[in-house]
Structure 1
Amino acid sequence: MRPNQISIWFKPDFLGYRGKLQDCYGQSLATFKWSRRVASAYYNINYGAVQFLEGSYPLFQVGVSNRSLSNAGGNSYRATHVYRYC
């Protein structure tokens, strides 16, 4: 995984297509064609966190204290937005 980015995957266990996020604050995943497609995520930045949301409803988060989520379980394929705390 490359430094200074948040990696997201289409399948659990970091498999399938991989996307990357870097920007701070709120973003629609639809902009990158990733809306309702995230199943796993890895945070490779030394500060902050990113929260995955369905609309404004929080689903899961990765960040400095919990860098990886290999399987979002029941929240897989639900995220429509992200919010990165920088």
Structure 2
Amino acid sequence: MSKVDAQRAMREAKYARNNASGPTRREAAAAAGGAEAPTASQPATKPAKARVAKAPVEKAEAAPTEARCGHRSMNGRECTREANHPEKNHRYG
């Protein structure tokens, strides 16, 4: 037996061991014939609506004293220089 054959046999044994526990709940319900198993187009129940509305979260940021450039870098940082700065490069903080 080659190495690949031994690995295949171990994998098949593991698969058989993991699936030897019996039918799943969905398979058992289908075999019982009581109710159909829910499908993707037929949800089991309607999603519950939130009972308590969440209060909007206010940010505790200080109002900027001067307008910022706001240029964004590729990683999401924003330029910290003043708006319409004459420099060609940006400072990201």
TM range (shorter): under 0.3
Larger Rg: 2
Structure with greater strand share of residues: 1
Q: Which has the bigger relative contact order, CA under 8 A and spacing at least 6?
A: 1
Give the structure with the larger helix fraction: 2
